[in-house]
Amino acid sequence: MPRWTGTWLEGPGVTLGELRSPDTWPGSRLGLPREGRGAVATFSVRVIAFLADIAASGLASGLVLAFLAHPTDKQRQAAGLAVLFVESALLVALTGQTLGMRVTGLQVLRLEDPTRVPGLATGIIRTVPLIASLGLVGFFTKDGRGLHDLAAGTVVVRSS
């Protein structure tokens, strides 16, 4: 085998754990704790919260669609997305939590002032990319922030 293939096939010579500094964790650059209340929420818990939100939105949109004689697939999809948008934007704006976040113990914090609830503008700014990026689920920064968090200047943390 030629010499050059042996160099890249052997790998970098370090493990992923060695590449990470022991003094960094998701949220460390934001001044958040490593674990417990206020720590960045894990991806799996955020997915569970989002699935709960989708289920709640599906139930609510089903109630709305019950008043239509024969809703089309497009009407069902539009109603589901509309309810998900309104639920996410309003609840995050007013309480800092969606229904799914409340169930899983998560909360949305404003990076500039974590003591205040996000507010309506932040709720909407955060929800638009969330709905638009449903196909990009899983793309997060090192600090566990998605596209929607970056746009709104927020971070999702454990509330309990």
pTM: 0.74
Q: Exposure of 54 by Cβ count < 10 A (0-12 exposed, 13-18 middle, 19+ buried)?
A: middle
Determine the pLDDT at residue 114.
Answer: 86
Confidence tier at 104 by pLDDT (50, 70, 90): very high
Highest mean pLDDT (candidates 4-13, 71-80, 138-147): 71-80
What is the reported pLDDT for 145? 85
Q: What is the pLDDT of residue 105?
A: 96
pLDDT, tens digit, for every residue of 1-49? 555 555 555 555 545 554 556 678 888 888 888 889 989 999 899 999 9
DSSP structure class, residue 41: P
Q: Which amino acid, residue 59?
A: L
